[in-house]
Amino acid sequence: AQSVTQLDSHVSVSEGTPVLLRCNYSSSYSPSLFWYVQHPNKGLQLLLKYTSAATLVKGINGFEAEFKKSETSFHLTKPSAHMSDAAEYFCVVSESDSWGKLQFGAGTQVVVTP
């Protein structure tokens, strides 16, 4: 069975400061892990994915995430927040035996202040 826990429901950062969004997962097999972003009234946009290649994954818009199997974590970071980063972020897991269906975390709302 798989599950995803996003440790923060709400993160507030100042523009230009680092962003850290935390995600832990539980998985029976080798998972694929994703981070998606959702802006208001929009669909989900893929930021990055981990699929058992390099453990440090670089994504779009300066985001990156590190897969740590020993800690079952897949935290998302960005060195310098921009106002346009204000959105809802979802950590998502897909098991190799789940026939492709995604399991979503509860989401982290990011607020960026000037």
Partner 1 sequence: GEEVAQTPKHLVRGEGQKAKLYCAPIKGHSYVFWYQQVLKNEFKFLISFQNENVFDETGMPKERFSAKCLPNSPCSLEIQATKLEDSAVYFCASSPGRTNQPQHFGDGTRLSIL
Nearest to 22 by CA among 8, 32, 12, 10: 8
Judged by CB under 8 A, the residue of 13, 25, 36, 93 near partner 1 is: 36
What is the size of the binding site for partner 1 (CB under 8 A)?
A: 24
- From CA 79, how far away is CA 64, in angstroms rounded? 9
Q: Residues 19, 110: contact at Cβ < 8 Å?
A: yes
For residue 56, which amino acid is it? L
Q: Is 11 in the site for partner 1 (CB under 8 A)?
A: no
Binding piece for partner 1, criterion CB under 8 A, among 15-23, 68-76, 78-86, 95-103: 95-103
CB closer to partner 1 out of 99 and 114: 99
Token output for 41: 């009234």
Binding site for partner 1 (CB under 8 A): 32, 34, 36, 41-46, 49, 51-52, 88, 90, 94, 96, 98-102, 104, 106-107
